[in-house]
Amino acid sequence: MGKKTRLEWAEIRNRQKNAIERAAEVLGALRMTAAPIDPLAVAASEKPLLVAVGADFRDRFDGQLEYHRANNRFLLFYNTKYDAYAPAGAHHARTRFSVAHELGHYFIEPHRAFLRRTGKFHPSRGEFLSDRAIETEADAFAAGLLMPASLLAPRVNEGEMSFADIERWAQEFETSMTSMARRAVELSHFPCALIGVREGRVAFSFHSQAMIDGGCYPRPRGSDLPPDARSKWQAFVDGNLSDGKGQAFAGAWCQTYDSDRAAEAPVYEYYRGVPSTQTLLILLSVPEEELFPDEDD
């Protein structure tokens, strides 16, 4: 697994930014301005060119978008199997995210052009785990659609955020804890990051712009954990993660390239287990003055 250069990070972020802006544009045109956003209402607004079809597709896929040339129609299939765990009549957060992800393939112009040529994408599944640029873009669109900056950013930047805040927002916007944590970090003006740990290793990391500007870049997927985090992971696996806090240096969690200041900055860790996806979430926060010592506020 190769390390990414700073230029590659910039390119990935730029593509995600465009996808999120596209989602904001779609919401703006539909005048959808309140949480929770209903992705199926967004799909319905594109009838008859787009038709959404929900059913229990078991383990075949979470969502799939097809283009049928004969009748010039896009069919958006979404798996309702997770709805069994949602309140009656409601869609589970995963179902909503799948629909929003497929809408990304529909609304992002190069994706749509590709679909018109080829008929369908490979089925997609899960959140934020695909390496392929196209899936990452559709995920970014989905996050932008379900958690618009205009609604969420003011809440996120009110003060220091905790997992209790993130949980409250996840309920309000009807998203998973993990998607909300990721999006909150993305919208934060403060140096912070979200690390997801699966099978004892870093499965994903998202860093706020301030964290990147301060010289702390994500480590590659599959990276080892710092020793203290390893014992937290073990406690989570054993079902007794009680101490939800920790502390380290940014160099333990981030690629800091040639910046000693970034590598030696203290980072505060907050742990939250998500048993349903066997994921341990870690919210990292670095005091602003440690990364930007010369700036007066």
Q: How far is Cα 202 from Cα 195, in angstroms, rounded to an integer?
A: 7
Of residues 135 through 154, those in contact with Zn ion by CB under 5 A are 135, 138
- Mark the segment that binds Zn ion (CB under 5 A) among 76-84, 112-120, 127-135, 169-177: 127-135
Of 92 and 105, the one with the shorter C-beta distance to Zn ion is 105
Helix (H) or strand (E) holding 136: helix 133-146
Exposure class string for 154-165: b at 16+ Cβ within 10 A, else e: ebbeeeebebeb
For residue 1, CA distances in Å to 101, 134, 288 come to: 26, 19, 31
SS3 content of the chain, % helix, strand, coil (to 5): 45, 20, 35
Site string for Zn ion, 203-232 (x = CB under 5 A): ------------------------------
> Least separation, in Å, of the C-beta of 64 and Zn ion?
8
Q: How many residues bind Zn ion (CB under 5 A)?
A: 3
> Least separation, in Å, of the C-beta of 130 and Zn ion?
8
| Residue 124 interacts with Zn ion (CB under 5 A): yes or no | yes
- Mark the segment that binds Zn ion (CB under 5 A) among 47-55, 129-137, 165-173, 190-198: 129-137
Of 138 and 195, the one with the shorter C-beta distance to Zn ion is 138
Radius of gyration of the chain (CA): 20
- Mark the segment that binds Zn ion (CB under 5 A) among 15-23, 130-138, 162-170, 281-289: 130-138
Of 54 and 251, the one with the shorter C-beta distance to Zn ion is 54
Of 24 and 129, the one with the shorter C-beta distance to Zn ion is 129
Range 265-272 contact pairs with CB under 8 angstroms and sequence separation of 24 or more: 265/214, 265/216, 265/290, 265/291, 266/290, 269/228, 269/229, 269/245, 270/162, 270/163, 270/244, 270/245, 271/232, 271/236, 271/241, 271/243, 271/244, 271/245, 271/246, 272/163, 272/177, 272/244
**What is the residue type of 40?**
L
Contact 274, 170 (CB under 8 A): no
> Least separation, in Å, of the C-beta of 256 and Zn ion?
33
Of 83 and 135, the one with the shorter C-beta distance to Zn ion is 135
What is the number of the residue whose Cβ is closest to Zn ion? 124
Of 97 and 169, the one with the shorter C-beta distance to Zn ion is 97
Of 101 and 207, the one with the shorter C-beta distance to Zn ion is 101
Of residues 229 through 258, those in contact with Zn ion by CB under 5 A are none
Burial class (CB in 10 A: 0-12, 13-18, 19+), 233: buried
> Least separation, in Å, of the C-beta of 65 and Zn ion?
7
> Least separation, in Å, of the C-beta of 135 and Zn ion?
5
- The site for Zn ion (CB under 5 A) is made up of 124, 135, 138
